[in-house]
Amino acid sequence: MKLHQDFPHYLQLMRVDKPIGWLLLLWPTLCAVWLASDGDPPAQIVWIFALGVFVMRSAGCVINDWADRDIDPKVERTTGRPLASGKLSANQALGLFAVLCAVALTLLLLLPERVWPWSIPALLLTVIYPFMKRVIQAPQLVLGIAFSFGIPMAYVALDHAFNAAFWLLLATNICWVLVYDSEYAMSDREDDLKIGINSTAILFGNRDKIIIGALQVVVVSLLLSLMLELNLNAFYGISIALVAALFLYQQWLIRNRDRALCFAAFINNGWVGGIVWFGLLCTL
């Protein structure tokens, strides 16, 4: 009976009601699957990686809330989370994390054995990222690496070499993560300063909009480089133009550093990743 009552809280802890994190992790992983398979990925690989992304993103949210269980009650946006509000206990969160890791392991075993060792650093990054905001000034860099780990795993699963396109995609994604998670951090900056935790929004200070804009230019430039490297057609060029337009829109949203609008800019990146993947889908 207790499990039945707590089930909605478990879903909330996994952020099932907020799919943006899953999408931000899914799009670059699918891009890697399509590139590594030359546009013709096996259906089984697609589904395994899609489900794996959902499970690991959920696990990341659970361990993040467990790590922040004493911080979230002090942050306006996170006071309603299950651990912060006392709807679930810390032990229940750890139990859910273990279940999600077991599901992820089951999916991993469906992939070729050569992929298995790559799951170890991926899991370690998932676990340590929540603590990085207490250790380094730019924890978003760690998130950038963590949210890019599906890229090498996809290439290894499809037995494709780490070629120039791979490195361009990896660099693009890391820079893109810095863009959207800095926008996310801008919405929490006041709370983070009071609590004493770090973020790129705090590190960048008054130069936040300029640095985010520069990173957006880098992302667009890397996408253009990928287009030239793979000799993709004009349709992919249109997708890059749309990404540039969305970045301009995000700059407009964050212009006054309004909390809600900075968060809206973060959410807008779900479209950015989808457009990049759709462009590859239509050109490879």
Tokens of 144: 């950038």
In this predicted model, what pLDDT tens digit does every residue of 200-220 receive, in sequence order?
A: 999 999 999 999 999 999 999
Instruction: Spell out the domain ranges in the chain.
Output: 2-283
- For residue 84, the tally of other CB atoms under 10 A from its CB is 19
Summarize the confidence of residues 183-195 as an average pLDDT.
87
Summarize the confidence of residues 112-141 as an average pLDDT.
93
Gap between the Cα atoms of 240 and 227, Å rounded:
9
pLDDT at 194: 81
Residue 57 has pLDDT above 60, yes or no: yes
Least confident of 68-77, 89-98, 163-172: 68-77
pTM for the full predicted model:
0.94
Would you place residue 1 in the very low, low, confident or very high pLDDT band (cuts 50, 70, 90)? very low
In this predicted model, what pLDDT tens digit does every residue of 13-52 receive, in sequence order?
A: 999 999 999 999 999 999 999 999 999 999 999 999 999 9
Phi-psi region of 10 (alpha: psi -120 to 50; beta: other; left: phi over 0): alpha
% of the chain residues with pLDDT over 70: 99
Q: Which CATH number is 2-283's, of 1.10.150.120, 1.10.1840.10, 1.10.357.140, 3.90.320.10?
A: 1.10.357.140
Kindly list the distances between the CA atom of residue 6 and the CA atoms of 45, 54, 55, 60, 80, in Å, as whole numbers in the listed order: 33, 20, 19, 19, 15
Alpha helices by DSSP H, listed for the chain, are 2-13, 20-36, 43-67, 90-108, 119-132, 140-146, 150-157, 164-195, 200-204, 208-230, 234-253, 259-283
pLDDT at 2: 65
